[in-house]
Each structure stands twice: as structure tokens, then as C-alpha cells.
Amino acid sequence: MTATANALREALLLVLVLAAPPLVAVFGVGVASGVLQAVTQVRERSLSTVPRIVAALVALALAGPWIAMRLEAFLRAVLEAVPALGRS
């Protein structure tokens, strides 16, 4: 596998891993609010949207340092590999 293909594969994997915390939080809150709305028979759109937005923001705030650390490590590795990418 070439260095370029390896860098692209790592970038796609990193996007999936870094998107997981807010997506999992939104999914969990969405399921919980859906069950709550089904039990109470309340069909208010804002009752499902606002908690999802808050959950995504909280997840990003909590996972922010970890996300930044992973992005920095990836960017550092890619920038160090730029000379090798030009030769392949």
C-alpha cells in the first residue's frame, strides 16, 4: 500500500472515530426522547430536537480535548510524511 493510500485510509478512520462521541450521544438522547414521547403520547418536535442539540454540544465539549489531541497527532504525522508522499 502506498503512503498516500495509507494516509487516506487513516484519515477516513479518524473521521469515523472522532464523529462517534456526538453521534452516540445524539442517538442515545434520541432513543430516550422517542420512548418518552411514545409513553406520554406527546408529539412536540422541539422536545426531541433541543435535547439532541444539547447532547451533541455537551459531548463535543467533553470530548473536545481528546478530539484535538487526535487531530494534532494525525496532522503532525501527515506533515512529517509529506516528503515521502512526494516521492511515491
pLDDT tens track of the chain, all 88 residues? Answer: 677 788 889 999 999 999 999 999 999 999 999 898 889 888 887 788 899 999 999 999 999 999 999 999 999 998 888 887 666 5
Name the residue ranges covered by the structural domains of the chain: 3-87
pTM, to two decimals: 0.79
* Residue whose entry in the numeric block shows the C-alpha cell 481528546: 66
Separation between Cα atoms, residue 77 and residue 83, nearest integer Å: 11
Which residues touch 78 (CB under 8 Å, ≥6 apart)?
7, 11
Burial of 48 (0-12, 13-18, 19+ CB in 10 A): middle
CB 4 within 8 A of CB 88: yes
